[in-house]
DNA sequence: ATGCCGGGCGAAGCCCGA
């Protein structure tokens, strides 16, 4: 079971790249972020033609998340619980009905939080606290769960090309990293770091200043696994190929492979 | 040097992202 997460930076602008990636990388489940369109305008037909079903949460111009799956999606949750006034489209969750290999997945677009001296940063921290609470409640099910997405969190200095330069950024501040660790400490495993010790592996490179060509990047897209999913973790990696294409997103996919259950 | 790209919106220039 291959599960991938990718911040596509507009589903419309990226559709050709996404369709090519679905063919070549062939994830069973794809968690997309920053689709930037309302659900009615999501290109379902083109994606369904490639054998995927879609769960979509959208809004005009900003944010937007989706789950694409080769298996039926059930029990879709279209918002992160904890604040009914929050109308930003940043969370969608579903049960993937793959029989004995079934699992719960979420596609997460965590707020950026910059600039830190505005209301954006407390919104980010509050959103992380809501995610922690929901992630905690999900564990009670003892299901295999993959919470994947653009977390806008650099977990550690080895995950950014210039740690000193990013020290006070909303993606790397100690408060941000602390909240991220609190989620991990519930019992979730960050899949990439569980299998890779090397530094300098990134999932985002700015469009500007030739950041990709000079490998000045950030690792901010993550797959968090419940114990029942982590026990089946076979492989996890970052696929840099889509970032090198024409009309690329500034993020590139991160994927993991889960073994069949015993 | 936080906007040098890139996308949305909407038809020029501003908002937003990380």
- Distance CA(A198)–CA(A205), nearest Å, equals 18
**A101 CA – B5 C1', rounded, Å:** 42
What does the pLDDT look like over A56-110, one tens digit per residue? 999 999 999 999 999 999 999 999 999 999 999 999 999 999 999 999 999 999 9
List the nucleotides on chain B closer than 7 A to a protein CB.
2-9, 16-18
Minimum-distance nucleotide, CA of A59 to C1': B8
**A51 CA – B14 C1', rounded, Å:** 39
- Going by pLDDT thresholds of 50, 70 and 90, the confidence category of residue A262 is confident
Question: Backbone dihedral region of A9: left (phi > 0), alpha (psi from -120 to 50 degrees) or beta?
Answer: left
**A257 CA – B13 C1', rounded, Å:** 45
Quick one: pLDDT at residue A11?
A: 98
**A236 CA – B16 C1', rounded, Å:** 31
Residue whose CA is minimally distant from B8 C1': A61
């Amino acid at each position: 079971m291959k599960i991938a997460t990718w911040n596509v930076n507009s589903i419309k602008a990226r559709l050709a790249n996404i369709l090519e990636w679905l063919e070549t990388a062939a994830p069973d489940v794809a968690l997309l972020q920053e689709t930037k369109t309302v659900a009615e305008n999501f290109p379902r037909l083109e994606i369904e033609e490639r054998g995927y079903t879609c769960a979509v949460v959208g809004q005009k111009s900003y944010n937007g998340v989706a789950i694409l799956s080769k298996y039926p999606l059930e029990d879709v949750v279209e918002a992160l619980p904890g604040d009914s006034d929050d109308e930003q489209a940043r969370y969608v969750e579903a049960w993937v009905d793959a029989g004995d290999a079934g699992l719960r997945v979420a596609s997460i677009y965590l707020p950026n939080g910059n600039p830190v001296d505005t209301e954006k940063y407390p919104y980010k921290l509050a959103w992380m606290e809501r995610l922690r609470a929901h992630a905690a409640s999900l564990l009670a099910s003892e299901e295999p769960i993959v919470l994947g997405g653009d977390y806008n969190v650099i977990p550690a200095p080895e995950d950014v090309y210039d740690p000193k330069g990013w020290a006070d950024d909303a993606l790397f501040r100690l408060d941000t990293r602390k909240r991220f660790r609190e989620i991990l400490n519930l019992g979730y495993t960050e899949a990439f770091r569980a299998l890779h010790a090397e530094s300098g592996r990134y999932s985002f490179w700015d469009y500007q200043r030739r950041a990709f060509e000079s490998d000045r990047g950030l690792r901010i897209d993550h797959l968090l696994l419940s114990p029942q999913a982590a026990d089946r973790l076979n492989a996890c990696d970052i696929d840099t190929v889509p970032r090198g294409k024409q009309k690329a997103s500034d993020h590139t996919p991160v994927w993991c492979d889960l073994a069949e259950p015993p």
